[in-house]
Structure 1
Amino acid sequence: MQTLIAIIVIFGLIIAIHEWGHLYFAKKVGILCREFAIGFGPKLFSKKKNETVYTVRLLPLGGFVRMAGEDPETVQIKPGYEVGLTFNEDDTVKEIIVNNKAKHTDAKIISVERADLEHGLFIEGYSDDAEGLVRYDVHRQADMIVDEERNQIAPWDRQYGSKKPWQKAVAIVAGPAMNFVLALILFAVFFSIQGVPQPMVSNVQEDSVAEEVGLTEGDEVLSIDGQSIDSWTDMLQTIQQSPNEEITMLVNRENGTESISMVVEGVYQETVDQEIGFIGVEPVMSHSFLESIQQSFSQIQDVVVLIFETLQLIFTGEFSLDYLAGPVGIYDYTGDVVQMGMLNLFQWAALLSVNIGIVNLLPLPALDGGRLIFIGLEAIRRKPLDPNKEGIAHFIGFALLMLLVLMVTWNDLNRLFM
């Protein structure tokens, strides 16, 4: 149960902040956002605030922001339609009732001759109480009511397609960007509480290599084999990559610097199926806020580099599905992290947020990176691409993405239970 709650909270936060980035910056460039959704499928909860309906949906596999103009309008008012109109105090149309007009007794019923709800914002038609064709001005924020469900109209200048390429790009890239912001905050909280490890010796273990060669608490490691050591990560990586090898460590002590040689112990690590170096010391932890921020940026950079190194394996033929984790694998890993304590969940959530940010920026249809590619092509061509062709590309991309998720999930199940 703890694992399930952790998954819901972590992914709810990551998805919400991602979609909020899209929502906030789309609104900033003037795009009407019809819906902000967490999840897919049937609605479990919905609430409208200002122009946007906020929903929680059944399948927790992501989320979306539905921007006006991205998809064709579900209902178009055509000649011959009979609709009901209600009006504001200035006699502009505030509601267009498409069906169930009998429920709206105050509505004026007209037979539509012509309507333009994008550019001209008007409806022309005939009614029983007026002679000849009458033109009605439509308010920019008028609602279309279909089956008692309201949907605000979208004038052309509020639609996604009307915006310049850079404005579209801002709205799209804001989602992944917010994942990096979230990761930075979570890492900063983690390092502020835990502390930032320094390349200084603490807690020398008994009968360890470090004790044998005389390392003591407070020794500051300056270099190993002539290579400068600027962080605990540098020190740790150098030692781990040197099992059963002799290294020379330059340390700074109260009475000056001293060179110490040692043979690094090799310890078998099951997770990587090989020996790693170990000398038996822990780092001194610093609780400086500035260092926490610096370490957070460094951690994000390390994760990004690791992800791209993994992706490069695709081109060398060394890539395996074992490098990926699907919903089952992430659930299993989260369960392990839950057992380590609440603080480690901050770090785990930050790692997931960076991964989701990077994955969304990959240049694949149906992902934000794919949409950025189409925006770039639009900027080069100086005219929009065929929205139908772009829609087909995104649909195919989404189908392939779901196929990959199924394959990775099956691989996770095999790894866990077989």
Structure 2
Amino acid sequence: MQTIFAFILVFGSLVFFHELGHFIFAKRAGIMVREFAIGFGPKIFGMRKGETLYTIRLLPLGGYVRMAGQDFDTVELKPGYRIGVVLNEDEEIIKLYMNQSVDDPNVLFLETEKADLDRELYIEGYDEEGELHRYKVSRTATVVEDGEELTIAPFDRQFESKSLGARTMAIFAGPLFNFILAFFLFIILALLKGVPTEEPIIADVEAGSPAAEAGIVAGDYITAVDGKEVKKWTQFFETIYDNPNKELEVQLTRAGETITALVTPTMLEEQGQQFGRIGVYYSSPVEHGVMKSIVYGGEQLIYWFGKISDLLGQLVTGKLNMEALSGPVGIYKATGDIAERGFINLLSWGAVLSINLGIMNLLPLPALDGGRLLFFAIEAVRGRPVDKQKEGMVHFIGIVLLLVLMVVVTWNDIQRFFFNV
């Protein structure tokens, strides 16, 4: 139960803030947001406020903000369509019925002659006596078709009507909010537990480890490794991590004396990735302060952005095995394990996951935010947008490929965690 709650809390928060970014910048641009959804699949909760439907859906694997004009959701009336309309006091159409019977004395039935529910907002049609009428359509009119109700979206409220800059920000804001969330989570972490000074001081040494065999002891202050000056523990850690089975020269000070030790990191492998370890432990002194916490938040955001980007680069170049990828099952299990170590660790894990989600969404792949931004870049270069249907087909293919990838990594997770393959 703890794992389920932790997963919903962490992953739900990341998805919520991602979609909130899209939502806020879409609204700022004047785009109608039809739905703000957390999850996919069947709706388990829904609440309409204004023109937006807020939903929680069954599968907690993501979310979406559905903007008017993105999904061919405009209403098209062709000549000969029989419709029912409801008029207000100014004889504007405020409700339109299509493809269904209506038993309401206030409904006027028309056979459509001409209509524009996109720009000019009017309908011309013949009533039951054969007389031609032209009615203005309210900008907030609703269309009821096959029992489903939809608010019309005048062209100036649609996604495609906005400037390239406004559309770009509406899409980019999702990953941006993930980075902002991570930044604030790191600040909260620093305020709660203090800011590590990252002084490269050995706290303890594991008996029989490569470090112990090299003569390294607790309290040693590391000044250089592999010929490079060390000022922070992370510099030392990364050098050891990246150089398994390679002899390294470590310079350190002990009681004011400079000492040189030769140590060869043991090579370990986890999820297809090889790394080095020498068996030392670290416990950094901490400092407190609001400004120090803010600086720490920025430093951690930059550090993890670079680290995750580097891992993705290794994956693309083949240096990192596909088996290292984890899907929802892997994230679920890792979240449960980390939750058992306490709230602080869960907070840190959420921050790193948020950065990861932001970076993954910025990849220039169809169906992801990065894929949309790539089409905007093409539009900026050629001076006109790519055909909407062609772009939609590319994104559809991308969704299929992403689903296939999701199945593969989920199967890897199941084998790894449940069958120990």
Both proteins in one fold, TM over 0.5: yes
Q: SS of the counterpart of 1:283?
A: coil
Counterpart-to-counterpart distance in 1, 2:248 and 2:388: 61
1:92–1:215 distance in 2 versus 1, CA, 3 Å: same
Structure 2 gaps of 5+ residues are: none
Q: Using the TM superposition, name which of 397-406 and 407-416 deviates more.
A: 407-416
Counterpart-to-counterpart distance in 2, 1:232 and 1:206: 15
Counterpart-to-counterpart distance in 1, 2:71 and 2:216: 69
Q: Using the TM superposition, name which of 35-44 and 301-310 deviates more.
A: 301-310
Q: SS of the counterpart of 2:41?
A: strand
Q: SS of the counterpart of 1:340?
A: coil
Answer yes or no: is the 8 Å Cα contact 2:249–2:263 preserved in 1. Answer: no
Counterpart-to-counterpart distance in 1, 2:48 and 2:160: 24
Answer yes or no: is the 8 Å Cα contact 1:182–1:353 preserved in 2. Answer: yes
1:298–1:262 distance in 2 versus 1, CA, 3 Å: same
Answer yes or no: is the 8 Å Cα contact 1:83–1:111 preserved in 2. Answer: yes
How far apart are 1:172 and its partner, in Å? 0.5
Q: SS of the counterpart of 1:181?
A: helix
How far apart are 1:411 and its partner, in Å? 1.4
Counterpart of 1:155 in structure 2 is: 154
Counterpart of 1:263 in structure 2 is: 261
1:197–1:62 distance in 2 versus 1, CA, 3 Å: same
Structure 1 residue 19 corresponds to structure 2 residue 36: no
Answer yes or no: is the 8 Å Cα contact 2:249–2:262 preserved in 1. Answer: yes
Structure 1 residue 143 corresponds to structure 2 residue 142: yes
Paired amino acid for 1:136: Y
Paired amino acid for 2:251: T
Answer yes or no: is the 8 Å Cα contact 2:240–2:276 preserved in 1. Answer: no
Answer yes or no: is the 8 Å Cα contact 2:222–2:251 preserved in 1. Answer: no
Answer yes or no: is the 8 Å Cα contact 1:246–1:261 preserved in 2. Answer: no
Counterpart-to-counterpart distance in 2, 1:2 and 1:123: 57
1:191–1:271 distance in 2 versus 1, CA, 3 Å: farther
Map 1:275-290; keep pairs closer than 5 Å: 275-279=276-280, 281-290=282-291
How far apart are 1:361 and its partner, in Å? 0.4
Structure 1 residue 373 corresponds to structure 2 residue 369: no
What is the CA deviation profile of residues 271-309 of structure 1, one whole-angstrom value per residue up to 9, with x for unaligned ones? 556652355552101122222222222222222222222
Paired amino acid for 2:131: G
How far apart are 1:59 and its partner, in Å? 1.9
TM-score with structure 2 setting the length:
0.87
TM-score with structure 1 setting the length:
0.88
Structure 1 residue 247 corresponds to structure 2 residue 250: yes
How far apart are 1:3 and its partner, in Å? 0.7
Q: SS of the counterpart of 2:278?
A: strand
Counterpart of 2:112 in structure 1 is: 112
Map 1:97-136; keep pairs closer than 5 Å: 97-128=97-128, 132-136=131-135
Structure 1 residue 181 corresponds to structure 2 residue 194: no
Q: Using the TM superposition, name which of 380-389 and 352-361 deviates more.
A: 380-389
Counterpart-to-counterpart distance in 1, 2:190 and 2:267: 26
Counterpart of 2:30 in structure 1 is: 30
Counterpart-to-counterpart distance in 2, 1:364 and 1:307: 17
Map 1:194-205; keep pairs closer than 5 Å: 194-200=193-199, 204-205=203-204
Counterpart-to-counterpart distance in 2, 1:405 and 1:240: 29
Map 1:3-402; keep pairs closer than 5 Å: 3-73=3-73, 75-128=75-128, 132-200=131-199, 204-205=203-204, 223-224=223-224, 227-237=228-238, 247-249=250-252, 258-261=256-259, 263=261, 268=266, 270=268, 275-279=276-280, 281-402=282-403
Q: Using the TM superposition, name which of 312-321 and 156-165 deviates more.
A: 312-321
Over the residues paired in the alignment, what is the CA RMSD in angstroms? Answer: 2.9
Counterpart-to-counterpart distance in 2, 1:264 and 1:105: 92
Counterpart-to-counterpart distance in 2, 1:121 and 1:48: 24
Percent identity of equivalent pairs: 41
How many residues in Structure 1 have an aligned counterpart in Structure 2? 408
Counterpart-to-counterpart distance in 1, 2:79 and 2:115: 8
Paired amino acid for 2:259: S
Paired amino acid for 2:45: F
Counterpart-to-counterpart distance in 2, 1:169 and 1:374: 10
